[in-house]
Structure 1
């Protein structure tokens, strides 16, 4: 395992954000190059106040320090909202490894924060429900939602460059991201100084949304598998975000941008915290390869996919609380 020079580039998106001549086209070209290789990049010049991820990391640490009974009172139900204890997720849908052991982490999921009387809640739309907030943790909701809001805005600012990287106009993907599915997942990884075979903080997998944004963690652990089979680490530059492409971008690109397997091994002697932000299409979006990625030499490889169906399948297969329980004797 190493950091392979240049395989995970550091891109300053500041000029493109400022509208500098040619900057958007240059950013799109560089995104395309890394999407055809590792599918991972690091962005600087993003404009996010560093106090926001810092406060979110601090909120995560305070939540996971709560007594176990307080956390279990917020345990996730039908949808992934709230607390997921250690041992409750096995990545059965992994396309890169046969995973049999649960991940060595505990998590807390936050989605878009609708009020109880919002039409989406009252109509019981799929994957929409109230967040499950810890009742006695001052500032937790405010810190995590401030970070959520900032990261959604950053993802939307990057979307035109991703459209251009696909060879399409800047606004092409926007029609599928009017009400994007966004999830903030707070994670605490248990120390694993002496790794066991087949046991990971997070088993090898690809993400299943469009893009994932990771604020730099204080401790190393994230590893990315290259096409050659080597495991490398993204550059750990304070104040930057690691961004990786996911399965839906692979479908939009007709297989041109293949999402890269990654894993987490916490070989530190301390708890490791992460706050990934997942950005995906609207639930009712139908994902199809874009015209620029289809040709006689590369015909369409994917059937249209309703994103809601995709999420439902993953939710049913990867989480212990959704598995059929054996009948009592």
Structure 2
């Protein structure tokens, strides 16, 4: 398997660059035009690049800076925030093998360390007091007082952008703009800060992040300073998204695939950090609410095209992944 990847450049490439400013501003016909572009891309590579998205550059840079500060802490300070039953906090290098991947037999741990952040609940929040599953308190490094405000400002901005993009994905599937609104009233979102180890001479079947599909609805990835992300086309070629500063790479994920009966099937991707220095990434994963029942939408079924998937409660899906892909969870009841 070659570790080299071609580059898709510009709006005419396999991964289009879309100016979403007019759609977000409510310009007549802009959301429908955006939906058409999303549909074409999601039926091909499942990846696209968003420009003119309205998220301030300072928030993106602030989150990248917070990630770098955290990973520079002494190992014992990071391990004090190690993830537990829920994936909130620090995940050391070697603690994740993507065993649920259906597109590659992953047996080796990813060459990265991560820090997970979710909705920032207060200790007395009713959902916390009730012990609701897959809901917990974020963990914050006491030595970095600016870490929490920087990451949560970015989290909040990305949540807003994701919600504003929902109508475009609904329209892309031939649905009314608010079709997904109920399932995303209280979305399940995760901000994952990642530091990839250098891999200037790649090993066979060893990756910064092994080939996989994302398991949420859609993922937003701010452009990293260094290359590394690679996308597999339906023809089996690995290519890199356009590296345009200030844009977001967006990809379809498993739940959108289920909603769409695989019309918008999630696309395999991987990370190989062939640079000679650490690479940072701050993906934002946007998923339905825990209680949402993921069902194939009516526009994606018909005579000769029955549903490929049974209804699935998103909470059940999340719990299964949590138990399967992380070494610390396999040692817990």
Pairing 1:100-139 to 2, within 5 Å after superposition: 100-139=107-146
> CA–CA distance in 1 between the matches of 2:39 and 2:109?
34
> CA–CA distance in 2 between the matches of 1:298 and 1:11?
31
Question: Please, which of 187, 196, 200 is the counterpart of residue 180 of structure 1?
Answer: 187
Matched with 1:12 is 19
Q: Unpaired segments of 5 or more residues in structure 1?
A: none
Matched with 1:237 is 244
> CA–CA distance in 2 between the matches of 1:209 and 1:220?
23
Question: Please, which of 264, 268, 272 is the counterpart of residue 271 of structure 2?
Answer: 264
User: Does the 8 Å contact 2:99/2:325 carry over to 1?
Assistant: yes
Matched with 2:301 is 294
1:264 Cα deviation after fit: 0.1
> CA–CA distance in 2 between the matches of 1:57 and 1:255?
33
1:77 Cα deviation after fit: 0.3
1:73-119, CA deviations, whole angstroms, 9 ceiling, x for partnerless residues?
00000010000000000000001000000000000000000000000
Question: Please, which of 313, 320, 327 is the counterpart of residue 327 of structure 2?
Answer: 320
1:301 Cα deviation after fit: 1.0
1:323 Cα deviation after fit: 1.2
Pairing 1:41-80 to 2, within 5 Å after superposition: 41-80=48-87
Q: TM-score, normalised by structure 2?
A: 0.97
1:192 Cα deviation after fit: 0.2
> CA–CA distance in 1 between the matches of 2:200 and 2:146?
33
1:136 Cα deviation after fit: 1.1
Is 2:318 the partner of 1:308?
no
> CA–CA distance in 2 between the matches of 1:3 and 1:297?
37
Question: Please, which of 279, 282, 288 is the counterpart of residue 286 of structure 2?
Answer: 279
Matched with 2:6 is 2
* Secondary structure in 2 matching 1:182: strand
Is 2:217 the partner of 1:217?
no
> CA–CA distance in 1 between the matches of 2:26 and 2:71?
41
Pairwise CA RMSD of aligned residues? 0.7
* Secondary structure in 1 matching 2:181: helix
1:45 Cα deviation after fit: 1.1
101-110 vs 17-26, which moves further: 17-26
Is 2:177 the partner of 1:170?
yes
> CA–CA distance in 2 between the matches of 1:13 and 1:175?
23
1:324 Cα deviation after fit: 3.7
> CA–CA distance in 2 between the matches of 1:145 and 1:128?
17
